């Protein structure tokens, strides 16, 4: 049985409950004969992939929903095999090249070239081009982005590319300039409440306003998280009454414990203890940028007002270095040491002998 977030996902642009102006613009673009390359960007859980799927249905009709999952194998120059999962229909292919790490350029070059050189097989299709959806586009390497740029120029006649990213900051300017940018902002509280009420009615129960408000506050603009929490609460308490508590993910609780350790003691031994906990989080595939953001927000809650700006400044500084570098743990640890030194300077003067 499907989760509610998938079962009640909108299937067309008309079914979307928020950002109506954006839906109207996408509908107009799909109806025109000149559909461009596009870049959808916005925070996680805002509905980027849902809007892309609805736009594809507007472009090609219901046949685009008949999808299959396939696996392709690519060979690197050193004859190493790369396995990549594809989601495809007769009209589009969805890929996540960043899963292959530094070999994403090979996937981009070979797969897109192959798709671009094949003609649309469905003679009844509304459009004569195929669409390639590239997820996590902001995680592509610079080489892969350069290869993508050349492909976008060369095969425009029978292929369109839709990029999906959380931010445009890590995409090179030539790619951004070749796409029509679509910002999918996080829904506001009213929009999230409307969606939660709609799903509750479809399931067959009334959602109390206080519970809806609690879910919306916890989700912080993430519609996917809000629907998952709603389903979890319904399973926990079918009548949604009593003292409901929204459980935090284990990794988030663990990050909060790390932040507490940083604030409680500032010594080299504590740095080593925090490093071990960072390794634990990384080994469970929690993205390093998410770790840094979660820990930094928790630390800011626990420190004096005078330190908050500096702590977030250095978190942003080391996040940029983390994205450029390769060893994530180095930058996480460097931020911890910086925060500890700031904390000691503030509370104990300039006595930093423990870090000499």
Q: Find out whether 153 and 20 touch, Cβ atoms under 8 Å.
A: no
pLDDT given at position 209 = 86
The C-alpha atoms of residue 32 and residue 36 are separated, in whole angstroms, by 10
**Confidence tier at 295 by pLDDT (50, 70, 90):** very high
Condensed to tens digits (0 to 9), the pLDDT of residues 12-38 reads: 888 888 899 999 999 998 888 788 899
Provide CATH code, domain 250-348.
1.20.272.10
Q: Find out whether 281 and 254 touch, Cβ atoms under 8 Å.
A: yes
pTM of the model: 0.80
Mean pLDDT for the stretch of residues 78-90:
85
Beta strands in 142-242 (DSSP E): 159-165, 180-183
Condensed to tens digits (0 to 9), the pLDDT of residues 267-283 reads: 999 999 999 999 999 99
- Three-state DSSP at 86 gives strand
Mean pLDDT for the stretch of residues 105-123:
74
> What is the third-level CATH fold of 4-183?
Rossmann fold (3.40.50)
Residues 6+ positions from 243 with CB-CB distance below 8 Å: none
Please work out, in degrees rounded to the nearest 5, the angle formed at the alpha carbon of residue 290 by the alpha carbons of 288 and 295: 95
pLDDT given at position 89 = 87
**Confidence tier at 119 by pLDDT (50, 70, 90):** low
Condensed to tens digits (0 to 9), the pLDDT of residues 171-187 reads: 889 999 989 999 999 99
Per-domain boundaries in the chain: 4-183, 189-236, 250-348
User: Does the pLDDT of residue 356 top 50, yes or no?
Assistant: no
The C-alpha atoms of residue 292 and residue 215 are separated, in whole angstroms, by 24
User: Does the pLDDT of residue 218 top 70, yes or no?
Assistant: yes
User: Are both 4-183 and 250-348 of the same fold?
Assistant: no
Q: What is the percentage of the chain residues whose pLDDT exceeds 70?
A: 94
Q: Which tops the pLDDT comparison, 352 or 31?
A: 31
User: Does the pLDDT of residue 120 top 80, yes or no?
Assistant: no
User: Does the pLDDT of residue 121 top 60, yes or no?
Assistant: no
């Amino acid at each position: 049985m499907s989760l509610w977030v998938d079962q009640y996902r909108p299937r067309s642009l008309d079914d979307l409950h928020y950002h109506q102006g954006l839906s109207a613009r996408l509908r107009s673009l799909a109806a025109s004969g000149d559909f461009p390359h596009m870049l959808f960007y916005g925070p996680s859980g805002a509905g980027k992939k849902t809007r892309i799927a609805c736009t594809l249905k507007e472009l090609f009709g219901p046949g685009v929903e008949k999808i299959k999952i396939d696996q392709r194998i690519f060979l690197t120059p050193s004859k190493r095999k790369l396995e990549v999962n594809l989601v495809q229909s007769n009209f589009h292919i969805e890929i996540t090249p960043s899963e292959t790490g530094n070999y994403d350029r090979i996937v981009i070059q070979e797969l897109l070239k192959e798709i671009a050189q094949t003609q649309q097989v469905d003679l009844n299709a509304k459009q004569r081009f195929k669409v390639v959806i590239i997820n996590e586009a902001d995680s592509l390497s610079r080489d892969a982005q350069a290869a993508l740029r050349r492909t976008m120029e060369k095969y425009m006649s029978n292929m369109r590319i839709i990029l999906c990213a959380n931010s445009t900051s890590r995409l090179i300017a030539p790619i951004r300039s070749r796409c029509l940018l679509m910002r999918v902002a996080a829904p506001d509280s009213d929009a999230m409440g409307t969606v939660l009420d709609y799903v509750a009615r479809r399931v067959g129960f009334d959602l109390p306003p206080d519970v809806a408000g609690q879910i919306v506050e916890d989700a912080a603009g993430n519609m996917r998280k809000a629907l998952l929490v709603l389903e979890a609460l319904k399973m926990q308490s079918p009548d949604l009454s009593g003292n409901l508590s929204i459980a935090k993910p284990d990794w988030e609780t663990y990050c909060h414990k790390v932040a507490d350790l940083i604030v409680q003691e500032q010594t080299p031994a504590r740095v080593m203890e925090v490093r071990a906990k960072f390794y634990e989080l990384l080994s469970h595939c929690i993205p390093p940028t998410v770790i840094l953001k979660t820990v930094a927000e928790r630390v800011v809650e626990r420190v004096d007002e005078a330190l908050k700006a500096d702590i977030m400044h250095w978190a942003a500084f080391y996040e940029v270095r983390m994205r450029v570098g390769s060893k994530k743990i180095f930058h996480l640890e460097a931020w911890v040491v910086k925060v500890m030194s700031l904390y000691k300077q503030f509370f104990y003067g300039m006595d930093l002998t423990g870090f000499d």
